[in-house]
Chain A
Amino acid sequence: MSALNSNNWDRRTVLRAAMGLAATGGLAACGGNTGRSEGGASGKSLTQYFHAYGEAGTQEAIKRYAKDFDGANVATQWITGTNFESKLFSALLTKNAPDVFEFHPQLQLIRSGQVADLSDLVNPVKDDFNPADIKSHTIDGKIWGVRMIDDPQFFYYRKSMLEKAGVEVPQTLDELVEAAAKLTTDKVKGLFIGNDMVQTQYPLVWSSGADQLTADNQIAYHTDAVAETLSKYRTMFKAGHLLTGAPADSWDPSALIQGLCAIQWSGMWAMPALQKALGDDLGIFPYPVAADGAKPSVFNGGWSMFVNAKGKNVDLAKEYVKWLWIDQKEHQEDWALSYGFHVPPRTSIAESADKLKSGLPAEGVKFFNEYGRFENPSWTQAMITAFEELIADVVRKGVEPEKALDTADAKVNRELKKLFG
């Protein structure tokens, strides 16, 4: 008998102990993987959530800024895919929720106590922010987020294609419908408003002379003009004048660059890539007038930084947000202008940005100022989804607009009732 056996250390015992250790280690790993990195010199750590931006260099940039912060080691979750909202919302319910995250100002975040009041951070520099940004982030007299970028969205078009087809830049929705028909060939579709047709959901309402909600938070989108606009979308879709099934959605400029369409809805962020690929063969126009008495419109989207009110380090997270999005103007300028084009929400940065002062970028800024409208924080994610389903039903499925609007009303009213009673 070996010495091992005499000490009860036979093969089975060793194997059993090893497996026990492995199992314990595995369980420990499950419990211990918080997704956070070890603290830096200060021993403190924060986690921030970002959706994956399309422009090259953005991920590296945001990590570079975070590295410059001395107060904590900031880990970045760069979330790819189209369901950033779902991942963020479900993460916010767990202990591994991000300390800071980017999103849009929405009432349900505040009502459910998910975001911290950032008034004390923003108030001292409030006058240097775009007033509309401040307004859209102010609820119950408090400012809940810090705007990082403003993203005007409008139509891009290939000048040469319009000239060849004898099409003028559309001033009304009817002209856009007509242009889409004339520009469609067996190789090129006239218009691209996104594979799922929901990208223009805000301006289609605004340019129809309506709004998402009234000032006292009642449904305002259910009008005959909106129903008529939806019918025109349906006409273009059934006629085959809309691009569908493109490899990348309309936020990406590749459909216009690859010649899959002549006119495409997208954001100002895509302008550098489009200019690089198409040179001067590129123009922009706002969402055209869709009803008598209405105005053209531009959706001023964008992203804002919020602090998780239920996080473990709320004060430190606020300190980080202040440092990066209030104090570090150099980083803010880099973030807005070095990758895609975005309008900096800080007036002082926007006014000094040479890149936005001439040519097509200047025209984009002009549309932003002239026709731009911001999101209403009371128009929440559930309402957005209800409206997206309305578009899917009317435009793609062929449901009568009035019937689909009634269906959306039921969903939106349920949400309004829960939020406002």
Chain B
Amino acid sequence: MSTTTTRDATRPAPAKVSKTKPRRGVRGTTFNFWLFTGPFLIGLLIFVYIPILWSAWLSFYEARYTVTPDKFVGFDNYEYMLTNGDFVRSLGTFSVFAAIVVPVTWALSLGLALMVHRLRFMKAFFRSVFFLPTAVSFVAASLIWKMSIFSGVRFGLMNTVLDWVGIENVAWLADPNPPWYWLVILTLRLWLQSGFYMILFLAALQNIPPSLYEAAAIDGAKPGWQTFWYITLPQLRATSTAVILLLLVAAYQAFDEFFNLLPKTTWGRPPLVELYYTALGDSQDYGAGSAGAMILTVLICTVTLLQGRFMGLGRGDENK
């Protein structure tokens, strides 16, 4: 049977054009487009693009205590941010943070997804339990972590537990040597984030055809590690790529927990916290802060492009 015949046979009849509804044409569609996207675009323009351009402009000016400066200083602010040590150190802090939090969150959320996926009962319950922390704000969670769980005094939850086994109180956040603050920050972020990425992995797991596992079983593949390594993991490649990218973006945006858990320190400051202290904090140096923001923007774009190239993001299946 000719496919052309089939297509012709199933082609729907042309829709009747109502004389009373001329607005449903291109003009109506355009109106609806602007109605729904217009506010978003205006918001994007006002709150994203104009500030970026303004920030780029500010970065070349002496802008202390003002965002409408008049003293042009060229690349002085860039030089200051790259030589004063604090900003460069913050990039190091980010690197440590991202190097730990990205793979650990990836592994934990994948592990949770595999566990929940295999459950035969109470699946929805456990899915909800792991996902619910996503709804908690970083600020609220930081306060709980700081004041209840990792409080440095004797009645903090962790210190109470340590006391039971005869270990002395630990100043979790006060003392950077040893850097226990990383444990506080990382557990907080894992608790808040893992559930969300677990849901993404769960969706991906449900899309793997069971026939693949059946075929593998016929070919002699042992269930467990072997099928996970040769079937499940490759099938999750696209989701893993997206999850890693999202985790890296989230790591770059890290602010709330560092800001709330580590006030008045010179350590544990990722770039956004450092820029906050430079620009919006006590120094009110909007020129230097903007220069730092521009450097960070270029860095994020570069890393994202390199990551996309490395992981094949955006390439069609045929090119993989």
**Bound state CA distance, A198 and B266, in angstroms?**
13
Report the minimum CB–CB distance from A166 to chain B (whole Å): 24
Q: Is the CB of A196 within 8 A of B177?
A: no
Report the minimum CB–CB distance from B299 to chain A (whole Å): 24
- Does A16 have its Cβ within 8 Å of any Cβ on chain B? yes
Query: CB-nearest residue of chain A relative to B24?
Result: A12
- Does B65 have its Cβ within 8 Å of any Cβ on chain A? yes
Residues of B within 8 A of A397 (CB): 176-177, 266-267
- Does A245 have its Cβ within 8 Å of any Cβ on chain B? yes
**Bound state CA distance, A382 and B263, in angstroms?**
15
Q: Which of B105-156 contact A (CB under 8 A)?
A: 147, 150-154, 156
- Does B95 have its Cβ within 8 Å of any Cβ on chain A? no
Q: Is the CB of B280 within 8 A of A86?
A: yes
Residues of B within 8 A of A195 (CB): 152, 174
Q: Is the CB of B175 within 8 A of A246?
A: no
Q: Is the CB of A245 within 8 A of B171?
A: yes
- Does B298 have its Cβ within 8 Å of any Cβ on chain A? no
| Of B186-194, B201-209, B281-289, the one touching chain A | B281-289
Question: Which residue in A23, A237, A245, A389 is a CB contact (below 8 Å) of B173?
Answer: A245
Residues of A within 8 A of B150 (CB): 245
Query: CB-nearest residue of chain A relative to B148?
Result: A247
**Bound state CA distance, A129 and B160, in angstroms?**
51
Q: Which of B277-308 contact A (CB under 8 A)?
A: 277, 280-285
Residues of A within 8 A of B42 (CB): 27
Q: Is the CB of A382 within 8 A of B153?
A: no
- Does B172 have its Cβ within 8 Å of any Cβ on chain A? yes
- Does A143 have its Cβ within 8 Å of any Cβ on chain B? no
Q: Is the CB of B172 within 8 A of A389?
A: no
Q: Is the CB of A388 within 8 A of B264?
A: yes
- Does A260 have its Cβ within 8 Å of any Cβ on chain B? yes
Q: Is the CB of A187 within 8 A of B153?
A: no
Question: Which residue in A1, A82, A85, A246 is a CB contact (below 8 Å) of B263?
Answer: A82
Report the minimum CB–CB distance from B254 to chain A (whole Å): 18
- Does A33 have its Cβ within 8 Å of any Cβ on chain B? no
Q: Looking at chain A's contact residues, is the secondary structure mostly helix, strand, loop, or mixed?
A: helix
Question: Which residue in A19, A83, A89 is a CB contact (below 8 Å) of B284?
Answer: A89
Report the minimum CB–CB distance from B64 to chain A (whole Å): 7
Question: Which residue in A83, A112, A198, A237 is a CB contact (below 8 Å) of B64?
Answer: A112
**Bound state CA distance, A240 and B174, in angstroms?**
11
Question: Which residue in B35, B264, B267, B285 is a CB contact (below 8 Å) of A20?
Answer: B35
Q: Which of B47-96 contact A (CB under 8 A)?
A: 64-67, 84-85
Question: Which residue in A385, A389, A398 is a CB contact (below 8 Å) of B177?
Answer: A398
Residues of B within 8 A of A26 (CB): 39
Residues of A within 8 A of B276 (CB): 86
Question: Which residue in A5, A198, A243 is a CB contact (below 8 Å) of B153?
Answer: A243
Instruction: Determine which residue in A26, A244, A397 has the highest number of CB atoms from chain B within 10 A of its CB, and name it.
Output: A244
Q: Is the CB of A86 within 8 A of B266?
A: no
Q: Is the CB of B65 within 8 A of A108?
A: yes
Q: Is the CB of B64 within 8 A of A418?
A: yes
Per-position contact with A for B32-43: 1 when CB-CB < 8 Å, else 0? Answer: 100100110010
- Does B2 have its Cβ within 8 Å of any Cβ on chain A? no
Q: Is the CB of A381 within 8 A of B263?
A: no
Question: Which residue in B64, B147, B265 is a CB contact (below 8 Å) of A396?
Answer: B265
**Bound state CA distance, A171 and B238, in angstroms?**
69
- Does B20 have its Cβ within 8 Å of any Cβ on chain A? yes
Q: Is the CB of A244 within 8 A of B66?
A: no
Residues of B within 8 A of A83 (CB): 281
Per-position contact with B for A364-405: 1 when CB-CB < 8 Å, else 0? Answer: 000000000000000001101100110011001110000000
Residues of B within 8 A of A82 (CB): 263
**Bound state CA distance, A407 and B89, in angstroms?**
14
Question: Which residue in B65, B280, B282 is a CB contact (below 8 Å) of A385?
Answer: B282
Residues of A within 8 A of B281 (CB): 83, 85-86, 385
Q: Is the CB of A27 within 8 A of B39?
A: yes
Residues of B within 8 A of A114 (CB): 65
Report the minimum CB–CB distance from B17 to chain A (whole Å): 16
**Bound state CA distance, A105 and B151, in angstroms?**
35
Known: A245-B172, A385-B282, A396-B175. A93 touches B266 (CB 8 A): no
Residues of A within 8 A of B32 (CB): 16
Q: Is the CB of B35 within 8 A of A381?
A: no
Report the minimum CB–CB distance from B78 to chain A (whole Å): 15
**Bound state CA distance, A108 and B282, in angstroms?**
11
- Does A42 have its Cβ within 8 Å of any Cβ on chain B? no
Q: Which of B2-52 contact A (CB under 8 A)?
A: 20, 32, 35, 38-39, 42
Residues of B within 8 A of A389 (CB): 264, 266
Known: A26-B39, A108-B65. A381 touches B151 (CB 8 A): no
Residues of B within 8 A of A398 (CB): 177
Q: Is the CB of A196 within 8 A of B264?
A: yes
Q: Is the CB of B39 within 8 A of A85?
A: no
**Bound state CA distance, A69 and B184, in angstroms?**
49
- Does A90 have its Cβ within 8 Å of any Cβ on chain B? yes
Report the minimum CB–CB distance from A257 to chain B (whole Å): 14
**Bound state CA distance, A335 and B265, in angstroms?**
34
**Bound state CA distance, A121 and B267, in angstroms?**
45
Question: Which residue in A244, A410, A418 is a CB contact (below 8 Å) of B175?
Answer: A244
Q: Is the CB of A392 within 8 A of B266?
A: yes
Query: CB-nearest residue of chain B relative to A419?
Result: B64
**Bound state CA distance, A382 and B288, in angstroms?**
13
Q: Which of B155-199 contact A (CB under 8 A)?
A: 156, 168, 171-177
Q: Is the CB of A112 within 8 A of B66?
A: yes
Question: Which residue in A8, A86, A196, A245 is a CB contact (below 8 Å) of B282?
Answer: A86
Q: Is the CB of B283 within 8 A of A381?
A: yes
Q: Is the CB of B173 within 8 A of A396?
A: no
**Bound state CA distance, A389 and B268, in angstroms?**
13
Instruction: Determine which residue in B154, B156, B282 has the highest number of CB atoms from chain A within 10 A of its CB, and name it.
Output: B282
Known: A196-B264, A244-B175, A246-B153. A5 touches B280 (CB 8 A): no
Query: CB-nearest residue of chain A relative to B173?
Result: A245
Known: A16-B35, A244-B174, A396-B175. A196 touches B65 (CB 8 A): no
**Bound state CA distance, A244 and B159, in angstroms?**
13
19 contacts between A and B (CB under 8 A): A19-B35, A20-B35, A27-B42, A82-B263, A86-B280, A195-B174, A198-B264, A260-B153, A381-B283, A382-B282, A385-B282, A385-B283, A389-B266, A396-B174, A396-B265, A397-B266, A398-B177, A410-B84, A418-B64
Which B positions have Cβ atoms within 8 angstroms of A?
20, 32, 35, 38-39, 42, 64-67, 84-85, 147, 150-154, 156, 168, 171-177, 263-267, 276-277, 280-285
